[in-house]
Amino acid sequence: MPTIAELEEKAALLRRHVINMTYEAGSGHPGGSLSAADIITVLYFHKLKHKPNNEYWPERDRFVLSKGHAAPILYAALAESGYFSTDELKSLRKIGSLLQGHPDRTKIPGVEVSTGALGQGLSVAVGMALASKLDKADWHVYAMVGDGECQEGEIWEAAMSAAHYKLDNLTVFLDRNGLQIDGPTEEIMALEPLDDKWKAFGWHVKRINGHDINAIMQAIEEPHPNKPYMIIADTIKGKGVSFMENQVCFHGKAPSKEETCTAMEELACSSQEK
């Protein structure tokens, strides 16, 4: 089992992949990928039961990236896990590439659900968790939703369903970085108090620092019998790269060559410090 320091190093590596991928593509979504990096790291390199050499292993846990535009961080984790070569990451968003701008279950090893239409991924995750219950299986479903995504009505329909069916085999991370493509979430369509809303919908809720590896690991293990579990992770958009942090423009803008060099230096330094 990896140590916290090793997981922090892995998260820094995934962030470097995100920067390189989006630079090479000239497009993509670095901001929300970087904010999700620590959570994705804990899931893929600490918690998930999965076998990269047997991607359809029946007993595997399932992960659904509902905020599909953060595909770069998922691809980085899949490559580092061994589902495909890290060399493939350079082909992001290019014609004929395995790695499209949003996850495609029919083409990319390790991707459970094709996502990108915001709000739909959580519904699929609920269906998966219900299937696990009906089959009396012991695999768990994990999902990640964006905070701007929580402005979609389908999110709350899924939330009601999950609570109704007592899906305690469903754990969802909400990447609460506070920014969406048009600006701050609280200016576009206010979301708070998110804790109270999810509790009112019948979920077990915990709020954590989404960049604290230890906090993420501890939160995942918290018991939540007969209730689906929502972990609201307060994060920073563009985390790890100074000029990207809390900058809405990097929601969907690739870094320039100079910016890429700066970002890679910062991420290398932060990794060495840890």
Per-residue H/E/C for the chain: CCCHHHHHHHHHHHHHHHHHHHHHHCCCCHHHHHHCHHHHHHHHHHHCCCCCCCCCCCCCCEEEECCHHHHHHHHHHHHHHCCCCHHHHHHCCCCCCCCCCCCCCCCCCCCCCCCCCCCHHHHHHHHHHHHHHHCCCCCCEEEEEECHHHHCHHHHHHHHHHHHCCCCCEEEEEEECCEECCEEHHHHCCCCCHHHHHHHCCCEEEEEECCCHHHHHHHHCCCCCCCCEEEEEECCCCCCCCCCCCCHHHHCCCCCHHHHHHHHHHHHHHHHHC
On the question of pLDDT at 272 being above 80, the answer is no
Encode pLDDT of 112-156 as tens digits.
999 999 999 999 999 999 999 999 999 999 999 999 999 999 999
pLDDT of 250 reads 93
Encode pLDDT of 73-109 as tens digits.
999 999 999 999 999 999 999 999 999 999 999 999 9
Answer yes or no: pTM beyond 0.85. yes
Average pLDDT of the chain to the nearest whole number: 96
pLDDT of 97 reads 93
pLDDT of 271 reads 57
Encode pLDDT of 228-257 as tens digits.
999 999 999 999 999 999 999 999 999 999
What's the rounded Cα separation, in Å, for the pair 98 and 104? 9
Mean of pLDDT values over 16-37: 97
Mean of pLDDT values over 201-225: 98
Count the domains in the chain: 1
pLDDT of 252 reads 94
Encode pLDDT of 55-65 as tens digits.
999 999 999 99
| CATH of residue 81 | 3.40.50.970
Residue 41: which domain range? Answer: 4-273
On the question of pLDDT at 37 being above 80, the answer is yes
Give percent of the chain above pLDDT 70.
98
Mean of pLDDT values over 151-171: 98
Give percent of the chain above pLDDT 90.
96
